[in-house]
Amino acid sequence: MSTLSLPQDESRQLVPPPGRHPADPPADPPRGEDALPLESLRIVPARHPGRWVATAGVAVLLAMVVSSLVTNDRWEWDVVATYLTWPSVLQGAWATVRLTLVASVVGFALGTVLALMRLSRSPLLRSVSWTYTWVFRSVPLLLQLLLWYNLAYLYPYLSLGIPFGPELLYFDTLSVVDKFWAAILGLGLSQAAYSAEIVRAGILSVDQGQQEAAASLGIPRRRQVSRIILPQAMRSIVPTAVNEVIGLLKGTSIVYVLAYGELFYIVSVIYGRNGRVVPLLVVASIWYLVLTTLITVVQYYVERHYAKGAVRTLPPTPLQKTRWTVLVWASRLSGRPVPDAVPPAYAARARVGVLTRTARTSGGPA
Amino acid sequence: MSTAVSATTHDSTTHDTTAHDTSAHAARPARRATAGLVEIHGVRKSFGTLEVLRDVSLTVPPGSVTVVLGPSGSGKSTLLRAINHLEKVDQGFVSLDGALIGYRRKGSTLRELKEREILAQRTQIGFVFQGFNLFPHLTALENVVEAPVSAQRRRREDVEPEARALLERVGLADKADARPRQLSGGQQQRVAIARALALRPKVLLFDEPTSALDPELVGEVLEVIKDVASTGTTLVVVTHEIAFAREVADTVVFMDDGVVVEQGTPTEVLDHPRQDRTRAFLEKVL
């Protein structure tokens, strides 16, 4: 035999051979330690030395980052702290939130319409939607913003009326399309092009049988879309859509070219005056981080809402997870059984420890 | 003519479904149905170059149970889908109680109906899919309530007790608030049947209702279909369950290669088939 194979007795002692059930009659009469019942054996968890080395390495790197953040004076944390809640910075952050909200609503509302047009049976609607997406995805956002801001040059007056007929309402373009609305037009309309594709992908992801079932039940077309198709499409729309909203939140910083007072423009004005460039950029970064975090929290709950029916049981909320983990650790340490409120998947984590405990106290070599 | 069933392609067996006296059916309660006559006339349908229905004619009397058998690709499902206009036929027509499905006759012209009108027609024809196609994001009860409320514009308060009664009838009263993915295949299909019944259709079409089920779940669904069969709703069932056909069907239709090869009572078609193709098929499945 090869030298690699373990002696028979030793291997059997460590691990029960695969496929062998405790109740099965042993192949040959047990001898020595083999005679011990499986339940009394000590379980040795697998060891992961590589994982420990990697963890230690990353911990050192992390410590270096933190220490440099603290010890390097040039971060000027006192300046950061001062300007983080500076009134004009707060106003800028609020302007950024407003831009993001309105542009998202415009973008996704128009995007949904475009997606439905793209899936329509009318060739004209289909090609108009396609062309829109083509144009607005191709022209850089910066250019679009400047074009919208110069709308008054192309059309000094805007009017509402009957096409090719009399005009009923009359506006001065400059008074209607101010900086805010130029920004909304630029951000919202280009967002619509991307949203259209996201919504379309979501609709296509819903099983064809759903629409067929709705049609066979005679459910009206509009209701088929709003009640049956879109709620199911939302499950694949939401993660990508939130990605887009986060992109938009940061994308609003590009509006500084219109000298509109959003977060980035405000901090750039401040550091232009006092020269504290890096601390003020950090202030803006922190605000973008906070806002993105808020969006991510909202995303979690929206996703959970639309997961209804797609999964047998909803994933637990962070609060539930924390509570269960605490209960599991409590039972691990005390040796008491896990409370019934904890789902089996979590309770199983405790069982390893409990089994080891009982094995240590009651088992062991006789 | 007393013959209610006729086929064009072959000299098939014909019989009178309302006055049959075969002993196999003696135990079944008599149905009194006045509505739900389905007539299929010279229907042709192609997908690309493949002709799946080749001049199919069939009459399904009110309140009868018709089981359609045949090898896969024989056009059974397409025929069923043509009955409620999920599949638009290329030639021929389908009518329910004399009214054309998908068209309106005006003098010498046939006008295609608008989608809204087709949807309204479909509420008279229930359809049960092989893959259930329940709405996964709605509870069992909401699945059943949806169509009567949105398609028939009935009041939710009136529909809900009815829907609960239907769920009870299919043995799922306790699952009203469960969502489809929390149910077994057999339970899902029973909800789907309740959903189709909620519209009080004149005709109920079953497209291989038990083919996606584990063998031990087939029975519970067939029991529900038998129960529905006793109420006087016209049923057309595409299935491979020969025993079910023998027990419940008034007429068994055998299709192959886009035509009706043979039809008659279960005894006639299943025990004494006249056509070689029918015999060959039955030998394989029995």
Average pLDDT, chain B: 87
How far is the C-alpha of B185 from the C-alpha of A32, rounded, in Å? 52
Positions in chain A short of pLDDT 70: 1-31, 347-366
Pure H helices in chain A: 8-14, 49-71, 77-84, 87-118, 123-138, 141-149, 151-154, 173-176, 179-205, 208-216, 221-223, 230-251, 263-274, 277-306, 318-334, 344-362
Q: Are A199 and A120 in contact (CB under 8 A)?
A: no
pLDDT exceeds cutoff 80 at B111: yes
pLDDT at residue B231, rounded to an integer: 87
ipTM of predicted complex = 0.83
**With an 8 Å Cβ cutoff, are B138 and A310 in contact?**
no
Average pLDDT, chain A: 84
Nearest residue, CB atoms, A216 vs list B122, B137, B179: B122
Name the residue in chain B with its Cα closest to that of A219: B151
Contacts of A227 in chain B (CB under 8 A): 146, 150
A 32-71 near B (Cβ less than 8 A):
none
Name the residue in chain A with its Cα closest to that of B122: A218
Reduce the DSSP state of residue A154 to 3 states and report it. Answer: helix
Name the residue in chain B with its Cα closest to that of A309: B137
pLDDT at residue A133, rounded to an integer: 95
Closest by Cα among B166, B173, B164, B175 to B227: B166
Interface test with B, best of A216, A225, A306 (most B CBs within 10 A): A216
**With an 8 Å Cβ cutoff, are B195 and A216 in contact?**
no
Contacts of A215 in chain B (CB under 8 A): 86, 119, 122
pLDDT exceeds cutoff 50 at B28: no
**With an 8 Å Cβ cutoff, are A212 and B119 in contact?**
no
Q: In what order do the strands lie in the sheet with B38-47?
A: B50-60, B38-47, B91-96, B99-100
**With an 8 Å Cβ cutoff, are A215 and B138 in contact?**
no
pTM above 0.80, yes or no: no
pLDDT at residue B81, rounded to an integer: 93
pLDDT at residue A132, rounded to an integer: 96
For B123-173, write each residue's pLDDT tens digit: 999 999 999 999 999 999 999 999 999 999 999 999 999 999 999 999 999
Please give the C-alpha separations between residue A340 and each of A219, A344, A347, in angstroms, as whole numbers.
44, 9, 9
pLDDT at residue A47, rounded to an integer: 87
Say whether residue A305 is in contact with chain B using an 8 A CB cutoff: no
For A7-38, write each residue's pLDDT tens digit: 444 444 444 555 545 555 555 655 677 778 88
Contacts of B147 in chain A (CB under 8 A): 217-219
**With an 8 Å Cβ cutoff, are A213 and B135 in contact?**
yes
Say whether residue A205 is in contact with chain B using an 8 A CB cutoff: no
Contacts of A228 in chain B (CB under 8 A): 135
Q: Are A303 and A236 in contact (CB under 8 A)?
A: no
pLDDT exceeds cutoff 60 at B8: no
Closest by Cα among B119, B174, B189 to B141: B174
Contacts of B123 in chain A (CB under 8 A): 217-218
Listed in sequence order, the residues at least 6 apart from B175 whose beta carbon sits closer than 8 Å to its beta carbon are B140, B167, B183, B187, B191
For A230-261, write each residue's pLDDT tens digit: 999 998 999 999 999 999 999 999 999 999 99
Calculate ∠ Cα A232-A238-A243, nearest 5°: 160
Name the residue in chain A with its Cα closest to that of B136: A309
For B42-82, write each residue's pLDDT tens digit: 999 999 899 999 999 999 999 999 999 999 889 999 999 99
pLDDT exceeds cutoff 50 at B7: no
For A215-235, write each residue's pLDDT tens digit: 999 999 899 999 999 999 998
pLDDT exceeds cutoff 80 at B187: yes
**With an 8 Å Cβ cutoff, are B133 and A210 in contact?**
yes
